[in-house]
Every structure is written in structure tokens, then in C-alpha cells.
Amino acid sequence: MEQLATPLLNGVIYGLLLFMVSAGLTLIFGMMGILNFAHASFYMLGAYFAYALQDVFGFWPAIIVSPLLVGVVGILVERYILRRVHRFGHAHELLITFGLSFIIVELVKLFFGNYPVNYRVPASLDFAAFTMGSLDYPAYRLFMGIVAIGMFVAIYLLLSRTRVGIVVRSAIHRPKMAEALGHNVPRVFMGVFGVGAAMAGLAGAVAGAFYTTSPNMALELGVLVFVVVVIGGLGSLEGAMLASLLIGIVTSVAVGIDASLADFMALFGAGDLAREIGGILVLKVSSLAASLPFALMLLVLLVRPSGLMGDKE
Amino acid sequence: MKVRMVLLAAGVCVLAAAPLLLSDGLVNAAISMLIAALFACAYNLLCGQAGMLSFGHSAYFGVGAFATIHAMNAVDGAGLLPTPLMPLAGALGGLLFGFAAGWFSTQRTGAYFAMITLAIAELLHAIAPQLKGVFGGEAGISSMRMPAWGWDFGSTTEVYYLTLAWVLASLAGLYLLTRTPLGRLALGIRENSHRLRFLGYEVHRVSVLIFALSGMFSGIAGSLQVLSNESANYVMFDTSLSAAVVLNTYIGGVHAFLGPALGAALVTFFGYAVSDLTQSWLLYQGVLFVLVIMFMPTGLAGLLDLACGSARRYGARAVAPAAGLYVLAGGAYAAALVFLTELLQRLFSQDYRSLAQAAGAGHWPPVRMFGHDWTPLGTWTWVAPAALIVAGWLCWRAATAVVRRLQEAAPAVPAGAAGMASPGRTA
Amino acid sequence: MKSPAVLKMALLPGLMFASALATAAPVKIALVETLSGPQAATGLTYRAAVRYAVERINADGGWHGEPLELLEYDNQGGPAGAADKLKAAISDGAQIVVQGASSAIGGQITEDVRKWDLRNPGRELIYLNVGAEAQALTGDKCQFYHFRVAGNAPMRVNALVAGMKQDQALGSKVYAINQNYSWGQDMEQAIVDGAAAGGYTVVEKTLHDVGKIQDFSPYVNKIAASHADTVMTGNWGSDLLLLMKAAKTAGLKARFGTVYLDQPGNIANAGDVALGNYVAQTFNPEAAGEAGAAFMQDYRAKTGHEPTFIEPQTVFGMLLVGEALRQVPAGDGKLNVRKLALALEQASIETPMGKLSMRAQDHQALLPLAVSVVSRDAKYKADGTDMGFKPVKRFTAEEAAVPAQASCRMQRPD
């Protein structure tokens, strides 16, 4: 049981981290129909801003100011770049975010260098929360989980209980009508983009200290975030939470499974046949752990393309 | 029409004469440009003509490549086909895999279609390194071109002519395809697939066919790459290659037939030429992409169309100063960007920071750039880019003033680039 | 009898003509490296080391008085780009190609060089491999014009095992975790092969995806469950850093035996996590004594930072080539690459770490190694922290060498 508990907990926390980054992406897609390829770059910017501000302000103010800065960057990007390209169609918006992701990564490399930077967990949080079996469980991981859950609750309440939330939701479903009723829909779009970017920035600021902060951060997380958004349903916040937890747990638990398809077929007596065929059948699940999310994504796309909790097409 | 044929013929002659005029290194760059051009045109069949934005097209390029390398290594290295016919293996691989993947992908449309294609490519990219027998691990599989039909294919020139022949034949094939009913149906899918269904066509079947054909030509491009490099590696399935072909296509312009070819050739050449000059070339490429997409949504082909159209309407002599001023403005802005980027890159580099530390507080050692030494706090170091930006802005203002004067003199149709894309044009 | 003045006038043009013939044409060295993109950090490091080495060879006289010319090409991080740039380098007249940042690219280059040399006798070029440590390159892909001046997996593992055993840090249970590609698989094989001699058992081995894993805690759980005393890994970059950080936050008691712990940024980022872990290096300044200190100072003066990680092996490898160049006569002015290759496979030099020489059988260099532990007592600190690499055991080239692979059947030019 304990064998399963640690991977489960780790998977949940990793999933919550994925949620922090993908929440913004799914909201942006749901509202504006833009698949923002630069979203993972906002995650990276959050980490780098927090690293740069840490020396000036200290850790806690830095992780509050850094997401705000990233939010400002997001607003500027939406106002001056995306809005211009909006009328040319979705493909152009997508491509521009792709070009932007390149520019952001190169700018980060220009100012901070190619190697990982020394952004570390502060001493105040660098202790073990409890022990599970023979291993300690770091408190900072729990902190990351708490931040993620707090963010989910805040955004959910914002969207469902406040007036701003109602306007945002109506702009998602019926933008023309909302505009006709007198709401400034372009400004709402700008705000949503900014908030989405800020959420990714917060994720970066918090996670960058625990994992490494390097120019390749965006690449490492980028495609996985897309997988989460697709599985959860484009535009659904609850779906993003569910999908992130699913992906986090699956990757975490899969690492412990050293069996392969051939072993599974051995249950039916076809083990030797499978081993002879070789190839994909003898690959261990543990070494494929990082590829499982894509298989899941393909499955979901074929069976239920709107995702686990998205609107039916 | 005649002008077009003459231009095309001239282009082909120039391409054919290239190995006689260029060095070996440049001929090799030309081979890469031709392959990228074919890949982009194959992609445009799916994206620009049928309106299906695919994000994982590198999969068909890669499958064609591996099919070819295995064909080359078959029969103990002698090859399944004579070398000039090798791309047929790539075509077959691309076609079959295109059928299989297309059947699944085209069941959905829009963003979901794009995501499925991305998932297929990513899955292939993730599994490929594990299947050593087929994909050769991260060292890839290598082979050698075998002599055939009197040539030994040992020199770059012969490989160039082989590539040129196949690229021209494939482009001709793609063009003829646009003239067939199937090609017209592709346009129909893009414009209004619902209506097509009502007209009695099986939209899914047509989509799969288009997808497979696009995969086939991508496979030919992949196999040409393998013939040139004599090796295939699973990194061909990387998303960066899929993204590159999308970018090349849109930069060239999706509405002109040769637009993607133009875009791909220019971007490939840019990467080849600039990557050796500066470390920050990816930044310049990114800025170029963003600027082209923001200000030239119909791509470079659209820009050429605009220029020719304006020349026809106002007369070349009237338009030339505006064009020249725009070019000057662009050049000045580009120079300022390059200057600032190179300066910042050197100032923020690790080595400079240690040198500055060694020199003591307040002392900034000079930075070596473009053959000169620039002091970071010196006047020229900041006046130069500022002057370039101002010069660029003035030229831009002057150019727009000239254009406005021309438009006021002959107020016919607005000459804006945006929204000029007419859907029916395919050549 | 001609007057002396006329004789001198007759001799003068002849002497000038003769001296022009005896002057060497510049030897062109092409660096085809990853200078941009995600893996640029390593490529740029190789470039710094190669630039320094070429400057030093030129200061010592170059090739018969003519300085070496360094051409730089960016392979854009992939084998296809490397193939393109190699062709550009050949077209620009390069005679030696230097590369090290990736075994995949190394595999492409060695094959391309082999095919070119086969098709163009008289215009050959040499591939100097300064860092691609996959076994295949001196195994079934070995060829006469490829020379590796870096280590390989079995060499590193044997040294690591011997060093950790001497420090009594090895224990009897070893967990092998590596990246799932040729280098990682070579490391895993070497760790398994060394079990008998090292007196340990490999309790479990794991291969994981390269550069894709953010969260190593599931792997740390597996390591804890296996009760291993030592974790041996060939991981580099973020894979190594994240693994060690995950181990520390979980309070894992095992020690790490690594190959690439000295990559810039690792110690600074890992902090105290790094203390007490071992690494098998090709250069350790403390172990290299006075010569090492002089080398460090000179390098720092010329490049702005101290040589670490792959820089020393690259510099020494290039100096080996410089030594081989000295053995090749000027001839008609143009470098005969075949003669250079023959000289290089017999060459040897003294480096601050000991004797470096080339093994003619498979063109793998025999180089000295050192096993170090991360400690606060080290004489030279790393990454601007208060920790450094304290040498534990030194190995001469003979001690560190492993026999050539049977799969290498080199075809020598006749």
C-alpha cells in the first residue's frame, strides 16, 4: 500500500502543477479559440522573473510580483500582437504565438545565458513535511499543491460567483451578444489572456525553484500542457483539473511498472509469441512513461474529441 | 499567361545551371532548399487548398525517409530500386501511412484535427527511438547511394540534378492535381464541406485521399533528403520540423501555388546563411516570422502580387520610389535590431561578466562587434542604433506618403494587403 | 666566372621561388557544433575550448610556421544540419573536422567523413571526436579517419567503481539509472559488466526518456525500495540535476556516482545536494598539480573562465593533433591528411594529468582519469560556490584503458 501511496501523492502534486499551467491555456482557448503555443514560455518567464527579483525583494514578494509582471506581458502581447492578427484567422494567430515562443526563449537565453540558473527553494520551506516509509516528503511539494488548489478555487469562484465572471463566461459562449449588451468584449479578452499568462507565471515562479530553471523549461512542459488541455476538453477548467491529475498520476505510477505488453499477453499464454514478435510488445511500461500521455491523447481524440469534460462538438 | 510560362522556363533554366555557377557548399544548400520547397508545397495541398491545418506533417516526411533508407539497405546494400527511382519507396511509405493516419484524423475538423495530427506525430517521435530495428536508435540508420544508369551519384552535382528532377516532377504533379476534379473538391472542402456533402460527395473519403496524396509527396521529399544525406534519424519526427513546414508555407503565402516553395526556400537559405554568422540567429528568425505574419498575412507571394498589381495600376516608375523607401526602412530597422541584439548578447554573456568583474567596479571593457571595439557606455554605441531607427522611421513615413499620394491620384480599389486574398486562386 | 653580384641576382628569384614552395598552405580546421537551439550550452563550451587550443598551437608555430585556420559551423542541433554543414566545410577546404556535443551527430559525421574519404582519395579529411562517447564510434562504426580523444562508458565506469571503492563509498548494492539512448545504454552495460570486478550487485537498472522527465520522485521511490547503497548514472544536464534534487528532497541515503556532475551550473543549482557524490573526470585541477594550475590560469586569462567539464579534454585532444602535425613533413605545401592520420595514431603528449596517447587499433585515446568527490575541502571551487571537486584517486592512461572492442574492424588505407 505504501508502495502506491508515494507515487499517488507525487502524481497528484505533479498533476496540480500541470493544472496551474494548463488552466490558463484552456481558458484562453475556450474564449478566443487561440491555441497559445507561447503559454509554456509564460511559465518560463515566471520562473526567470522570480529568480531575478528574488535577490532584490526576497522569495515571497518575488513570487507575488513575478506573476503580475508576466500578466502584464500577456496583456501587451494580446493588445498589440494578437489583436492585429485576429482577423486573418486562427492559423495566423496560432503561428504568431509559435513565433513568439521562439522570441521569448531566445530573449531569455540572451539575458540569462544557456545554462540553468541558481533559483532555489528558500531555507524557510526547505524541510521535510513527513516521512513515508523510508523517504521524506518535502514540504515545498505540499506548498506547490496548496498554491495550485488555491488558484483553482480562486478562479472557479471568480468565474461562477462574481459579476466579472459572468461577463467572462458570456463572452466565451456568446461574444457578439455580450458586446451588443454593452460590455467591452475586447477588454475582457485582454484580461483573460493576461490572467491566463499570470497563472502560468505563478506556476513557473513556484515550480522553478523546485525543478530546474533553464531555457529548456518551456520545451519540456510545453507539449504535455497541450495534452492535458485536449484530454480535459478545450475550454473547461474542471476538465483541465481532471486531466492534469490523470496525467500526473499515470506518469507517476507507470514508472513503477516494469511489465510490458508481452507480460500481459503471457497471462493468456501468448507471452512467448509476443516476445518473438518483439518491437513494441516488449517495451517496458516504465521506459515509456513519458510517452503514455500522447497515447492517451490520441485515444481521447478518437473516442471523445471534445475531451473528458468539454462541450459536445 | 505567356509571361508566366516564360518566367517559369527561366526559373527552371537558372536552377539547372546552378551547379555550374555555385560552389559545392551552396549547391548543397540549394538541395536543402529544393527539398524544403517540395515539402511545403505538399503540405499546402492539405492546408492551403483543403483547409486542414495539420500539425504533425513531419511524420509522413519521416516515414518516407525511413522507407527509402530501408529500400537502400535492402538486398545486402544493393538497394531495392535503382537510385534514381528510390523516391518511389518514399512515396509509397508516405502514401500508405498517410492513408492510415488520414482515415483517423479526418474524422474530426478544425482544432481537433490539428491536435490529432500532432498526437500522431508526437507518438511516433516518442516510440521511434525504442524500435531500434526500424528506426535505428538515436544514431539513425545510414546507407550509401549505389551507382545506377551510368552515374555513380558520388558528387553533389549529380545528387542536385536528381533532386531537381524529382522536385520539378512532383511540383508538376501537384499542379496538375489542382486542375483535376479532386483538386477542385479539395477547395470545396475548405470553403464549405457541409455543402459538398449535400451535393452528394463523400467528404470523408475525399479528405482521406487528399491527406494520403499530401503524405505521398511529403514522403518523396523525405526520401530526397535521405538520398542527399545518406542517413535517416528519428529526429525527423520532431515537432520542430512540423512547425517549420507550417511556418514556411504561411510565410510564402498559402494562396499562391508556388508561394510555399518560395517561403521554404528563403527560410532555409536564411537559416543556412545566418546560423554561421551569429549565435542569436533564432531570435532574428522568430522576429522575422512574427513580422511577416503580422504585416504580410498573404505571405511573400501576396506581397509580390501586391507589388506587381501596384506597378500595373500606377506604373512602375511611380511605384519604384515607394518600394525603394520601404526596402530602405526595413533595412535600417533590421540593422538597428541586429546591432542591439548583438550588443546585448555580448554584454550579458558569462565571459563578459567575468571580464568586467576582473576589470573592477565601474569599468566596462570594450565589446568586439563587426570588426570594431565598442565601449558599452560610449556615445556611438547608442547613437548608432538610435540613428538607424530614426532613419528607418523617416523612410517609412516617406514611403507611406508616396503611396497615399498615388492612391489619391487614382482612387480605384484600396491597395491594402489584408483581405486581398481571393480564395479561388491557385496559381 | 660570373661576378658575385650577378650570381646573387640570379639566385634571388630562385630562392624566393623555392621558399614559396616550402611555405605551408594554411591547415583548415572546421568546428561543426551545436551553437544554437536547446543544446547550445554544450556546443558553445566546445567552441571556447577549440578556439583556445588553436590559438595555443599557432603560438607554438602552427604547421611549419603557417597558422591553423579555424572555421566555425552551426549544425543547428541535429544530424541533418550537421551533414549540410559538413559539406559546406568540405567545400571551404577543411581538412580536420572537430565535434563533440552529441553522439547522434557524431554518428552522422563519422559516416559522412568515411564516405567522402572513400569517394575522394587525395582530398581526405579527419574527424576529431572530442566528446561523443558512444561505444559504436570505436566499435562497429570505427574507421581509419575517426579519432576519439574523449573517454567512453566502460572507462568512466571502471574508474568510478575503483575510486568509490577506495573511498569505501561504493557499498555492495548498486542501482543503475540512465537515459534511454546509446550513451545511457552503454553506461548501463558497463555498470553491469563491472559488477564482478567491483564486488557489487546491480539490484536494478532503469532507462528513462531523455530530457522529458520533470519529476524524478517515482524513480527515487524505486531506488529507495531497492535498498541500493550507490546510484550510478551517466545522466547529464537537467536529467542529472532533477534526479539529484529529487533524491535529496526525499532524503534518499544513497550516494551518486556520476560522469557529468561537473557540467557548469550543476553544483550551483544543486547546492548542498551535491556534497558527498562522486564523479569520474578527465581533468581535475587539484590532481594535476602545478602544471594544472598553470593551465587553469592561462585558460582563464584567454577566455574569461576556468576550464571545466569537457574543455580540458578538448584542449588536450587538439594539442595531440598539434603534435601529430609536427610529425608531418611540409612536402609540397599542402597537408597530406593520410600522413597526418598515420602520425596521429602514433602520437602522444604530456598533459597536466599525465600521458595522453592514441591507440592505433580502434583510434580511442588512452587518457588519464580522476575520480573526485564534491566537498568543501577542495582546493578549487566550482560555479562560484564554496564547494569543489576533491580528487580521490588518479588513474594513468594505462590504468584507465579498456580493451578495444571486437566489433571494430578498421579498414586501413594501403
Q: Of B25, B139, B231, which has the smallest distance from its Cβ to C88's Cβ?
A: B25
Q: Say if residue C168 is in the same domain as residue C269.
A: yes
Q: Which residue ranges in chain C fall short of pLDDT 50?
A: 1-22
Q: d(Cα B196, Cα A46) in Å, to the nearest integer?
A: 48
Position C3 in a domain: no
Distance CA C79, CA C81 (A): 5
Report yes or no on C12 lying in a domain.
no
Q: Does residue C276 sit in the same domain as residue C318?
A: no
Chain A residue at shortest CA distance from C226: A134
* Domain ranges, residue C386: 153-281+369-400
The alpha carbon torsion through A227, A229, A230, A232 (nearest 10 deg) reads: 110
Query: CA-to-CA distance for C130 and C151, rounded, in angstroms?
Result: 9
HSE, side-chain direction, 13 A CA sphere, residue B379? 0
Q: Which of B157, B164, B213, B163 is nearest to B42 (CA)?
A: B213
Same domain for C253 and C376, yes or no, is yes
Separation CA A104–CA A215 (nearest Å): 10
Decide if C251 contacts A128 (C-beta within 8 A). Answer: yes
B29/C84 touch (CB, cutoff 8 Å), yes or no: yes
Predicted pLDDT at C365: 93
Answer yes or no: do B131 and A279 touch at CB < 8 A.
Answer: yes
The class (CATH top level) of A2-257 is mainly alpha
Contacts of A288 in chain B (CB under 8 A): 126-127, 130
pLDDT for the residue numbered A294: 85
Q: How far apart are CA A272 and CA C105, in angstroms?
A: 37
Contact B279 C73 (CB under 8 A): no
Instruction: Read off the pLDDT of each residue in B95-119 and give the average, rounded to a whole number.
Output: 89
Q: Give the Cβ contact number of residue B309 at 10 Å.
A: 14
pLDDT at B348: 85
Cα–Cα distance for residue pair A146/A157, rounded to 1 Å: 16
Confidence of residue B32 (pLDDT cuts 50, 70, 90): very high
State the pLDDT at residue A238: 87
Shortest Cα distance from A2 to chain B (angstroms)? 31
Residue B377 in this model has a pLDDT that exceeds 80: no
Distance CA C44, CA C33 (A): 8
Asked whether A81 and A96 are in contact (CB, 8 A), the reply is: yes
Confidence of residue A230 (pLDDT cuts 50, 70, 90): confident
- Asked if A186 and A90 count as a contact pair (C-beta separation under 8 A), the reply is no
Note whether B115 contacts A301, CB cutoff 8 Å.
yes
Phi, psi of B414, deg, nearest 5: -60, 135
Is it the case that residue B130 has pLDDT exceeding 90? no
> What is the distance in angstroms between the Cα of C369 and the nearest Cα belonging to chain A?
25
Q: Do B275 and C76 touch (CB under 8 A)?
A: yes
CATH number of the domain within which C95 lies: 3.40.50.2300
What's the rounded Cα separation, in Å, for the pair A183 and A172? Answer: 13
Tell me: do C298 and C227 sit in the same domain: no
A212 near C CB under 8 A: yes
User: How many independent structural domains does chain C possess?
Assistant: 2
Q: Does the predicted interface ipTM exceed a cut of 0.90?
A: no
Which of C 110-139 lie inside 8 A of B, CB atoms? 111-112, 115, 119, 134, 136
pLDDT one-digit tens code per residue, C280-325: 999 998 888 899 999 999 998 888 888 888 999 999 999 999 999 9
Q: Are residues C337 and C233 in the same domain?
A: no
Q: Which residues of A touch B246 (CB under 8 A)?
A: 95, 98
Q: Chain B within 8 Å of A72 (Cβ-Cβ)?
A: no
The verdict on C298 touching A (C-beta cutoff 8 Å) is no
Q: Is residue C405 in a domain?
A: no
Read out DSSP for C202-225? EEEEEEE-TT--S--HHHHHHHHH
Answer whether A90 sits within 8 Å of B111, measured CB to CB.
yes
What confidence tier does B374 reach under pLDDT thresholds 50, 70, 90? confident
Please state the φ and ψ torsions of residue A110, each to the nearest 5 degrees.
-65, -45
Query: Once rounded to an integer, what is the mean pLDDT over residues B154-159?
Result: 89
Q: Is residue C2 part of a domain?
A: no
Q: Using CA atoms, how far apart are residues C357 and B125, in angstroms rounded to an integer?
A: 40
Does one domain contain both C313 and C218? no
Asked whether residue C49 is domain-assigned, the answer is yes
The rounded mean pLDDT for chain C is 86
Query: What cell was used for A180?
Result: 451588443
Based on the fold, state whether residues C128 and C249 are members of the same structural domain. Answer: no
Chains adjacent to A (≥3 CB pairs closer than 8 angstroms): B, C
Q: By the 8 A CB rule, do C257 and C160 touch?
A: yes
* A95 touches B: beta carbon within 8 Å: yes
**Candidate from B47, B130, B282 with C-beta closest to A106:** B282
Q: Does residue C253 sit in the same domain as residue C342?
A: no
Average pLDDT of the residues in A95-115: 89
Give this prediction's pTM. Answer: 0.85
Q: Are residues C147 and C264 in the same domain?
A: no
Determine the pLDDT at residue C4: 47
What is the structure's pLDDT at C11?
A: 45
Smallest Cα distance from A172 to chain C, Å? 33
Residues C229 and C159 reside in one and the same domain: yes
> Same structural domain for residues C273 and C182?
yes
In a domain, C17, yes or no: no
Higher pLDDT, A147 or A222: A147
Beta carbons of B233 and C80 less than 8 Å apart: yes
Do both C59 and C129 map to the same domain? yes
For residue C305, what pLDDT is reported?
84
* Extents of the domains making up chain A: 2-257
Contact C211 A220 (CB under 8 A): yes
Query: What does the pLDDT read at residue C270?
Result: 79
How many residues make up chain A in this entry? Answer: 313
Which pLDDT score, from 0 to 100, does residue A2 have? 56
Q: Give per-residue pLDDT as tens, C317-358.
A: 999 999 999 989 888 878 889 999 999 999 999 999 999 999
pLDDT value at position A74? 94
> What does the pLDDT read at residue C15?
46
Looking at chain B, which residue has its C-alpha nearest residue A35?
A: B111
